[in-house]
A and B are shown apart, each in its own frame.
Chain A
Amino acid sequence: MLLEYIAIGVLLFLATAVAAIAIFLGELFGPKRKSDKKAQPYESGMLPIGPGTRRMPVRFYLIAVLFILFDIEIVFFLPWAVVFRQLGLFGLIEMIIFIGILLVGYIYAWKKGALEWE
């Protein structure tokens, strides 16, 4: 029974190894510019200490919405990939349409400058 888990083990090992190598390389070659602001814990853009209710730049939501949009696209890919063979050509076309629509949105957002922060 344990043999069945070998594949998972290998995957786990590979994933860890890739990540570790990547971190190592980054450490090796990356530039290092630290500042107090940057060293703060990451709380999705909020200041980690202080009152809980305060205003946020609306720009932040724009980025968040875009992120969710394209994130869900990926979520939708996953089950599709699992049954990709059963769906056949029909599934492929459907997905191309789906991606096409998202692509339109992406190009639109890009062209409108929504992906730029300043």
Chain B
Amino acid sequence: MTQLDFITVLPIAFLTFWVCALLLADLFIKRKGLTAVLAAVGLAITLGLTLMQVGRSALGFNGMLVLDGFSIFVQTLLLLSGLLGIALAYGYIRRMKIERGEYYGLLLFSIIGMMLMAQAADLIMVFLALETLSIPLYVLAAFARPNPDSEESGLKYFLLGAFAGGFVLYGIALIYGATGSTQLAQIISVVNLSGGFEGIYNPTLMLIGAALVLVGLGFKVAAVPFHMWTPDVYQGAPTAVTAFMAAGAKIAGFAALLRVFALAFPTLSADLSPVLWVISALTMFGGNLIAISQTNIKRMLAYSSIAHAGYILMAFVPFGDPKVLPVSVAAGLFYLVAYTLTNFGTWGVVIALEKAEGKGLEISDYAGLGRKYPALAAAMTVFMLSLTGMPPTLGLVGKFYLFRAVLEGGYVWLAVIGVITSLISAYYYLRVVVTMYMHEGEAQTEREFWLGLTTLGAAVLTVLISLTPQWLFILAKDAVLMLF
């Protein structure tokens, strides 16, 4: 291991060390609040280490890991979501009587996997990272044991996740068979070298392998038709876990997809772009249409999360076009930021209203919120507008950048579908707002400091950043992928 290797992996290595120590320390910590604080401190230090790396770019471990602006941007976002996840969970798991120290350990382990995913430059690393991020999530989903809903959620997630993981692995094997390597750099060089020759490169095998990798990662980000686990798992899992899962897993999944597809598979874009196009469109339609009929807020948000995966997938459709790629990557990253912020805020409101034994999760339970808790209701309104994509919120800006990138890539109809489905989604998002303000009811909320801060902070940021979005977009645009 050289010094360079060490630098590329420093934040992850530190976090790994920290979480191991935390796991042991937690055995002797009686007040689990202390564990949460320690976990947050670890994330904060890791965040600092990550930000120290800004501007660097390097390949480490013989090309297994890569450090570049893209990875730093994604990791920063992941660490921030980790912090938000802890803030949401802090009071929630105590209130739900599932306060165990492992919660934070598992959360951090999952973040390690996600960060590794952002840095993976080798398909084997992608798979390892995928498993590292997934397995703690399976456990977290079942964390409210012995609540059967939660256990079912964890088990379903695990079974289907393992199923999807199999596809990724098989895809990797086929790509290895097609090119003789699992390293993105070598894959692309083999593909480029033997363009016209009958070398070891086998395009058909490569195409099938890439499609299988797409399937597996598509499962992680909940794209139609690999989305069916999402509502059950999101609904059954403890809400704080759902909030983290919805953001973190998506960020990591998209990061890996972006890097792998943009770096290793650009030659396959003629074949894969139509597939991505269809998946994106199906996901937008499916998620938004089914969400309309939901009465449970968690289930509705699960379908909403599926729909948003569809929007982000739009950024992938022009992945083979080197002119559009930087813009679409930046748009995708921007949208991820917007979605993360809005997502945590929304789930924060849900957590505030949730009672023990799964009560307080119907949309009708939000009736009267506007009168009793005007601040919380206002925040929820902002989030609903943002998810719909209406001014003055980050959601609108994110969609704007996305549609622009897609239009630049020449996919007019996809943009049209995006707009239409956004209009559809207004129906069920605004229904929540209507319920809050127009319906009579006695909404009950919990007051928790960190929860309130997260929710209101997210609402304020959602509005503020949308007024001057340019700096964030430039940051995203600078977070370029390191090309080999």
Binding site for B on A (CB under 8 A): 90, 94, 100-101, 104, 107-108, 111-112
**A108 and B1 form a contact (CB under 8 A):** no
- Closest approach, in angstroms, between the C-beta of B260 and any C-beta of chain A? 27
B27 within 8 A of A: yes
Contact of B23 among A90, A94, A100, A108 (CB under 8 A): A108
B24 within 8 A of A: yes
Closest to A111 in B: B27
**B27 and A104 form a contact (CB under 8 A):** no
Residues on B with beta carbons closer than 8 Å to the beta carbon of A104: 20, 23-24
Residues on A with beta carbons closer than 8 Å to the beta carbon of B1: 90, 94
Residues on B with beta carbons closer than 8 Å to the beta carbon of A100: 20
A94, B24: Cα distance in complex, Å: 21
How would you classify the secondary structure of chain B's contact residues: helix, strand, loop or mixed?
helix
Q: Which positions 1-54 of chain B face chain A at CB distance < 8 Å?
A: 1, 16, 20, 23-24, 27
A to B CB contacts below 8 Å, 10 in the list: A90-B1, A101-B20, A104-B20, A104-B23, A107-B24, A107-B27, A108-B23, A108-B24, A108-B27, A111-B27
A101, B18: Cα distance in complex, Å: 11
Binding site for A on B (CB under 8 A): 1, 16, 20, 23-24, 27
Number of interchain pairs (Cβ within 8 Å): 15
Closest 5 CB pairs of A and B: A104-B20, A111-B27, A108-B23, A104-B24, A104-B23
A107, B27: Cα distance in complex, Å: 9
Contacts A107-B24, A108-B27, A112-B27 known; list 6 others, CB within 8 Å.
A100-B20, A101-B20, A104-B20, A104-B24, A108-B23, A111-B27
A104, B102: Cα distance in complex, Å: 13
Residues on A with beta carbons closer than 8 Å to the beta carbon of B27: 107-108, 111-112
Residues on A with beta carbons closer than 8 Å to the beta carbon of B16: 101
A108, B27: Cα distance in complex, Å: 7
Residues on B with beta carbons closer than 8 Å to the beta carbon of A112: 27
Closest to A90 in B: B1
Residues on A with beta carbons closer than 8 Å to the beta carbon of B24: 104, 107-108
- Closest approach, in angstroms, between the C-beta of A55 and any C-beta of chain B? 16
A84, B138: Cα distance in complex, Å: 37
- Closest approach, in angstroms, between the C-beta of B198 and any C-beta of chain A? 37
A118, B24: Cα distance in complex, Å: 23
- Closest approach, in angstroms, between the C-beta of B330 and any C-beta of chain A? 37
- Closest approach, in angstroms, between the C-beta of A92 and any C-beta of chain B? 13
A94, B5: Cα distance in complex, Å: 14
- Closest approach, in angstroms, between the C-beta of A104 and any C-beta of chain B? 5
Residues on A with beta carbons closer than 8 Å to the beta carbon of B23: 104, 108
Closest to B13 in A: A97
Q: Which of A90, A100, A104, A112 has the most CB of B within 10 A?
A: A104
A104, B27: Cα distance in complex, Å: 11
